[in-house]
Amino acid sequence: MSESNIRVEDNGYAIEARDLSIYYGDFRAVERVNLAIRRNEITAIIGPSGCGKSTVLRSFNRMNELYPTACAEGEVIFRGENIYDPDVDPVEVRRRIGMVFQKPNPFPKSIYENIAWGARINGFQGNMDELVERSLRDAALWDEVKDKLQEIGTALSGGQQQRLCIARTIAVQPEVILMDEPASALDPVATLKIEELMQRLKKKYTIVIVTHNMQQAARVSDHTAFFMMNEDRAGYLVEYGPTNQIFTNPQNEMTERYITGRFG
């Protein structure tokens, strides 16, 4: 996925899943998903537990491959290429499509090094002090930590740690940020800060978020994808559309039942 052979498709999409199925060994966890993620928007993935939401999210930067039995069929198109082609480097994919996990996972290093380390190993050659400050500012954390950059990142509060992880992701200059329930372990005040941050970040990045919190999906996202399980317990996409439509006028009866709390 080098700059010289990028074939960017100017269709307004950051990522496209095409007939995407994901397996863990013989078990098909996700079945034939077709989903186009729009650039510079927030897309929420919702659905009951076990329907493959996080599996789909991880497929967008090949994180599922960290599980030995996982494999994918179909395509995930990013910058005009299928990221599952044999000649595509998954490390480079993960640099361009970053991940923020459910539980904050800062490195046991200083706040400064949490930002600098990832940028450094990815070959950053510029002014590191400026990059650290810019990343922390973009993550709405600079004013809270600027006087303690040499203190260990794990000493921050949970909400601050999550914003530090977002800053760390931003520092390597991705195009897409994947967030797997980034506020589920946080208190309401910290959750609000993360949601406000996402609204600011979408001006520069495309964001895909998995959430169990339907109110959160309704508040923060531009588009929403609703997943369910079929009789074989494989996750599949039921409905995808503008968030306002999904929550006020869903086209599928199953979506309406889930949104109104009649199951799930």
Whether 8 is in a domain gets the answer yes
Residue 144, Ramachandran bin (φ over 0: left; ψ between -120 and 50: alpha; else beta): alpha
Whether 129 is in a domain gets the answer yes
Whether 264 is in a domain gets the answer no
Whether 239 is in a domain gets the answer yes
In tens digits, the chain (264 residues) has pLDDT values of 544 333 444 589 999 999 999 999 999 999 999 999 999 999 999 999 999 999 999 999 999 999 999 999 999 999 999 999 999 999 999 999 999 999 999 999 999 999 999 899 888 999 999 999 999 999 999 999 999 999 999 999 999 999 999 999 999 999 999 999 999 989 999 999 999 999 999 999 999 999 999 999 999 999 999 999 999 999 999 999 999 999 999 999 999 999 998 875
Whether 24 is in a domain gets the answer yes
Please tell me the total count of domains within the chain.
1
Segments forming the whole domain that contains residue 205: 3-259
Whether 180 is in a domain gets the answer yes
Question: What residues contact residue 98 under an 8 Å CB cut-off, 6+ apart?
Answer: 61, 169, 170, 172, 174, 176, 177, 178
pTM above 0.95, yes or no: no
